[in-house]
Structure 1
Amino acid sequence: MKDLFRKSAKKLAIVVLDRHPEAYARYIFKKRFHRKMNLDAPKDINEKINWLKFRTDTSEWSRLTDKYRVREYVTACGLADILVPLYGKWNRAEEINLDELPESFVLKTNNSSGTIFIVKNKDDIDRETMCRSLNYWLRQKVGVLSAEPHYQMIEPCIVAEQLLPANNGSTSPIDYKIWCFNGEPFSIWATHNRDASGAIVGLYDLNWNYQPEYQVFCSHYREGTPPYRNRIIWIKCWTLRVYWQNRFRKYGSIYMLWMTGVFILER
């Protein structure tokens, strides 16, 4: 009886949150920052992103958030050569033919974050567990639970991609998120040692000066000394600007460039 009540309460909550995403976003903001969110006159990047989310046209956000369809966008920009090789795409886990995949690969859903199977040897896969997890992730109302309505417009699927090697002392591939404002690169958010519990993160300016004062750390995104700090030195700002301005179109005044080792130079 208790389990039935919990399931009914969860379904009701999802319906309510789906109909009132902005109210839920305000609740999340107040709980996290201990102040009300001001969407009439946003003052910081958190409020600005929420303003864009609820006060502007975000139809293109769904395509760019979709881990499968974003490949169309990157290809249309003439950058198909930087995409991680794609091995397959399926609507249900039972459709996956492991015999057609290489020994190592990554399986993930396109409609969420952290819904990923890292396969180093496919002979070790527990297929029943894999199918159960992937199908469960496909059913999740990610956009509702995170107050990000553009996720709800994504048609869920499963993709298999090449497994990227960990590098520079990290237990996972190091990725770089380039924050841009008004068409110009502003700062670099570097992440390493990703796992189910979170990741080690660091924010830098374009000359790789560490800027912890601009970060908010938590149990999921933890501060730590990057193992790559002394090896990955700098990004040529002019190269980054040319790359961004000449190869990508701009959607909104705030956006990020995701990279894994692109334009990183080592001394």
Structure 2
Amino acid sequence: MLKKALKLINNPRLLALRFLQLKVFRILSDEKYIELEYRLRLGKHLILDNPKSFNEKLQWLKLYDRRPEYTMMVDKYEVRKYVAEKIGEEYLIPLLGVYDSFDEIDFSKLPDQFVLKPNHTSGNVFICKDKSKINYALLSKEVNAWMKRRYYWVHREWPYKNVKPRILCEEYMVDESKRELRDYKLLCFGGKVMCSFVCLNRNSDNGLNVDFYDIDWNPMPFERHYPRSGTITPKPKTYEKMVEFAEILSKSFPFVRVDFYEVYGQLYFGELTFYPGSGWRNSRRSLTTICWEVG
């Protein structure tokens, strides 16, 4: 606690960002809030009338590309219907249960390994590898905190505003490494995959790595908040199908990231993300130059 306090005191921008999360600032319009957060995080003025960088364009999309269907697409439960209709139910990670509260979960009926996650936030997950080791009091506290979280207010990503909070229980899955699932994330601009990145080594001592690849699976010289791994990830066996499905799922949208997993040669859908890193942690301007030219 003391270390966190000292970190805030020694970083005025970080302290200001913490204050910005107070409910009193909810009176700010989305545009004013996003402009203020952008300045605090990136140290420069947000240009909305002629956005150039990838980060700027994501902020513009938050504010002005507001299609009603986006609410369903960011909902980790409701999006399953869209995916099943567009590419097939067999590409969905098996669902073990859907709950409106922690108290509804009957753990006696769940397998020894499973994954819990909320449908309406980003970054929250509980991975159970051994049910006998669960501290139910702590887990209850964590899950109840998820259910109270209103992700829209964090960065004003408006599609989350009207998502009904639920708890999803999915089948626990690992790939050939037997340690984790690699995330294959395809960046789609105007319904076309322009490049991808892979998230790996989440459970390593050095933490997460992110490696970018072009459409032909050649390494690209970008970094996205996290360092590159320094290794080459073999092209997934289902990569061509990932590209095909990503373009089906992203058709008619100016930008969306489509995530997949590969488990022993079987392709699984992950999620749709309209604002990666909420437009604060993304690759430098060179990514925009290559992938997204606005006429």
Please, what TM-score do these two structures have when normalized by structure 1?
A: 0.82
| Pairing 1:203–2:212 present | yes
Change (3 A) 1:128 1:70: same
* CA-atom RMSD in angstroms: 2.9
**C-alpha contact (below 8 Å) 1:185/1:240 kept by paired residues:** no
Q: Which amino acid aligns with 2:255?
A: I
Q: Which residue of 2 aligns with 1:73?
A: 82
Q: Which residue of 1 aligns with 2:166?
A: 157
SS of the equivalent of 1:186 reads: strand
**C-alpha contact (below 8 Å) 1:207/1:235 kept by paired residues:** no
| Pairing 1:222–2:230 present | no
Change (3 A) 1:20 1:174: same
1:87-144: per-residue Cα shift (whole Å, max 9, x none)? 0011110110011111110011111122111111111111111111101111012210
| Pairing 1:243–2:248 present | no
**C-alpha contact (below 8 Å) 1:200/1:224 kept by paired residues:** yes
- Specify which structure has the bigger relative contact order, considering alpha-carbon pairs within 8 angstroms and separated by 6 or more residues: 2
Counterpart CA distance in 2 for 1:100 and 1:127 is 15
Change (3 A) 1:254 1:77: same
| Pairing 1:255–2:260 present | no
Counterpart CA distance in 1 for 2:28 and 2:67 is 17
SS of the equivalent of 2:98 reads: strand
Q: Which amino acid aligns with 2:259?
A: W
Q: 1:65 offset after TM fit, Å? A: 1.0
Counterpart CA distance in 2 for 1:236 and 1:95 is 38
**C-alpha contact (below 8 Å) 1:180/1:186 kept by paired residues:** yes
Q: Which residue of 2 aligns with 1:190?
A: 198
Unpaired stretches in structure 1, ≥5 consecutive residues = 1-8
Q: 1:60 offset after TM fit, Å? A: 1.8
**C-alpha contact (below 8 Å) 1:206/1:235 kept by paired residues:** no
Query: What are the within-5 Å matches in structure 2 for residues 85-164 of structure 1?
Result: 85-164=94-173
**C-alpha contact (below 8 Å) 2:187/2:255 kept by paired residues:** yes
Count of matched residue pairs: 248
| Pairing 1:231–2:234 present | yes
Change (3 A) 1:210 1:28: farther
Q: Which residue of 2 aligns with 1:177?
A: 185
Unpaired stretches in structure 2, ≥5 consecutive residues = 1-17, 267-295
